[in-house]
């Protein structure tokens, strides 16, 4: 993969900015922009969510689905004892 697109609409922007320590008012943000620490907090929370919502199910799928997906092999699976 060489491209990742993050699409966040208005409904996702306010909670995202709150993670960075920026609160929305009626007409602006308070403070007007995120601090370095706020951005790091948003990165940390996002990484934790990624681990729980993507990496966890991925590892479970790899663990429980192994050898159930047909792939091309030199010998058919399972290899039977020919003795």
Q: Are 8 and 16 within 8 A, CB to CB? A: yes
pLDDT tier at 8 (50, 70, 90 boundaries)? low
Can you read off the two tokens belonging to residue 55? 């990496």
Query: What integer pLDDT is reported at residue 15 of this predicted model?
Result: 84
Cα first-last separation, the chain: 46
Can you read off the two tokens belonging to residue 45? 């929370």
Q: For 60, which DSSP code?
A: H
Specify the residue for token string 């003795």: 83
Tell me: the pLDDT tens digits for 23-66?
988 888 899 999 999 999 999 998 998 888 888 888 888 887 76
Query: What integer pLDDT is reported at residue 72 of this predicted model?
Result: 59
pTM greater than 0.85: no
């Amino acid at each position: 993969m060489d491209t990742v697109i993050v699409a966040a609409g208005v409904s996702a922007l306010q909670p995202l900015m709150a993670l960075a320590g920026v609160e929305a008012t009626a007409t602006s943000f308070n403070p007007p922009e995120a601090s370095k620490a706020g951005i790091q907090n948003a990165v940390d929370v996002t990484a934790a969510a990624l681990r729980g919502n993507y990496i966890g199910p991925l590892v479970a799928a790899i663990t429980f689905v192994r050898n159930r997906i047909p792939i091309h092999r030199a010998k058919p699976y399972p290899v039977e004892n020919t003795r």
